[in-house]
C-alpha cells in the first residue's frame, strides 16, 4: 500500500495545483480584460470625437490615431479571450502602450500648438 499512496498523493497535489493555476489564471484574465475594455471604450470615445482634450475637439489625424489604439486594443482583448500566453500578453501590452503614447503625444502636440495660436 505505501507504494501507491505516495504517487497518488503527488498526482492529487499536481491536480490541485493545476486547478489553482486555472482559477488564478481566470481571475488574472478577467482583470486584464476589464481594464482593456475600459481602455477600448476611452479610445473609441476619442476616435469618435465624443471626448475633447482641453476643451478642444480632436483633429481627424488625432482621431485616426485613437482609432488605431481602439482597433489594436480589440485585437489584444480577442487574443486574451482565446488563450492566456503571458509572454504574448506582455508583448501586446507593450505595443498597445506604444500606440497610446504616440496618440497621446499627437493629441498633446496639437492641443499645445492650438493654444499657442
Q: What is the DSSP string of 45-73?
A: HHHHT-S-BTTBPPPHHHHHHHHHHHHHH
Predicted pLDDT at 74: 95
Determine the Cα–Cα distance for residues 62 and 64; give it in Å rounded to an integer: 5
Query: What confidence category does residue 7 fall into, taking pLDDT thresholds of 50, 70 and 90?
Result: low
Give tens-digit pLDDT for 15-59: 777 777 667 777 888 888 999 999 999 999 999 999 888 888 999
How much is the average pLDDT of 86-107?
Answer: 84
Considering the domain boundaries, does residue 6 fall inside one? no
Domain region containing 72: 31-116
Considering the domain boundaries, does residue 101 fall inside one? yes
Considering the domain boundaries, does residue 9 fall inside one? no
83 in the Ramachandran plot: left (φ > 0), alpha (ψ -120 to 50) or beta?
A: beta
Q: Does the pLDDT of residue 13 top 60, yes or no?
A: yes
Considering the domain boundaries, does residue 38 fall inside one? yes
Considering the domain boundaries, does residue 4 fall inside one? no
Considering the domain boundaries, does residue 20 fall inside one? no
Count of the separate structural domains present in the chain: 1
Contact between 40 and 77 (Cβ < 8 Å): yes
Considering the domain boundaries, does residue 69 fall inside one? yes
Determine the Cα–Cα distance for residues 113 and 56; give it in Å rounded to an integer: 11
Considering the domain boundaries, does residue 21 fall inside one? no
Determine the Cα–Cα distance for residues 115 and 112; give it in Å rounded to an integer: 5
Amino acid at each position: 500500500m505505501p507504494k501507491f499512496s505516495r504517487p497518488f498523493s503527488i498526482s492529487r497535489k499536481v491536480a490541485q495545483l493545476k486547478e489553482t493555476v486555472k482559477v488564478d489564471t481566470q481571475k488574472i484574465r478577467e482583470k486584464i480584460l476589464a481594464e482593456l475594455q475600459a481602455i477600448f471604450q476611452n479610445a473609441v470615445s476619442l476616435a469618435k470625437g465624443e471626448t475633447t482634450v482641453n476643451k478642444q475637439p480632436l483633429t481627424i489625424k488625432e482621431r485616426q490615431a485613437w482609432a488605431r489604439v481602439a482597433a489594436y486594443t480589440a485585437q489584444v482583448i480577442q487574443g486574451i479571450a482565446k488563450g492566456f500566453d503571458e509572454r504574448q500578453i506582455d508583448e501586446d501590452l507593450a505595443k498597445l502602450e506604444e500606440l497610446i503614447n504616440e496618440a497621446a503625444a499627437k493629441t498633446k502636440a496639437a492641443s499645445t500648438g492650438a493654444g499657442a495660436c
